[in-house]
């Protein structure tokens, strides 16, 4: 016959410790499950051109609920004074479209992006940011994986003359 020498307090402490460990394990399991469940929406993809005349970047980041943040950025290399001239003109100097990529060239127009920032710099020239949140269906440009590019047109709005067109590298994904 064995005699249990533990007091009621000791039994309660040991039981409480087990419950705390179980709660901690449950919390860890829930966090790992949540991370796994949202991994697709937290995914991000970005490509940049790194060209000599301009660096154009296109990024697509999942926001959840099949909505994606589209970001296009450009540094068009020129003098700071020339860049400031574009900014000082009436109207936006850049028109930005997200387009499908088919047969090695830009295809259908999917949607436009508004200008969110323009800056002039002696170091980087004319810089611009363009952002928009869109449903995944807007990026679905054909069957299977989708290939999209950003096409930016720089226009001298004083003369309504297209100065240059820039294209980002192709970004491929399944956003539908």
Does pLDDT of 114 surpass 80? yes
Q: What residues contact 74, with CB distance under 8 A and at least 6 apart?
A: 54, 55, 56, 57, 94, 126, 127, 128, 152, 166
- pLDDT at site 15: 52
- pLDDT at site 103: 79
* Rounded Cα–Cα distance for residues 142 and 80 (Å): 41
User: What are 1-15's pLDDT values in tens digits?
Assistant: 555 555 554 544 445
Does pLDDT of 66 surpass 50? yes
User: What are 28-55's pLDDT values in tens digits?
Assistant: 444 333 333 333 444 678 999 999 999 9
- pLDDT at site 4: 52
pLDDT higher at 174 or 31:
174
Q: Please give the structure tokens belonging to residue 46.
A: 């970005």
- pLDDT at site 30: 43
HSE of 28, CA atoms in CB hemisphere, 13 A: 6
């Amino acid at each position: 016959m064995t005699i249990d020498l533990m007091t009621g307090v000791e039994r309660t402490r040991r039981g409480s410790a087990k419950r705390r460990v179980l709660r901690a394990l449950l919390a860890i399991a829930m966090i790992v499950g949540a991370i796994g469940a949202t991994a697709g929406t937290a995914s991000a993809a970005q490509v940049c051109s790194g060209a000599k005349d301009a660096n154009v970047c296109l990024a697509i980041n999942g926001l959840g609920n099949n909505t994606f943040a589209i970001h296009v950025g450009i540094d068009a290399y020129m003098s700071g004074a020339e860049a400031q001239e574009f900014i000082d003109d009436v109207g936006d100097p850049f028109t930005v479209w997200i387009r499908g990529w088919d047969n090695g060239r830009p295809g259908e127009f999917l949607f436009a992006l508004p200008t969110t920032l323009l800056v002039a710099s002696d170091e980087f020239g004319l810089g611009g940011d363009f952002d928009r949140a869109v449903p995944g269906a807007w990026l679905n440009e054909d069957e299977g994986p989708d290939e999209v590019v950003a096409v930016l047109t720089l226009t001298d709005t004083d003369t309504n003359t297209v100065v240059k067109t820039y294209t980002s590298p192709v970004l491929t994904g399944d956003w539908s």
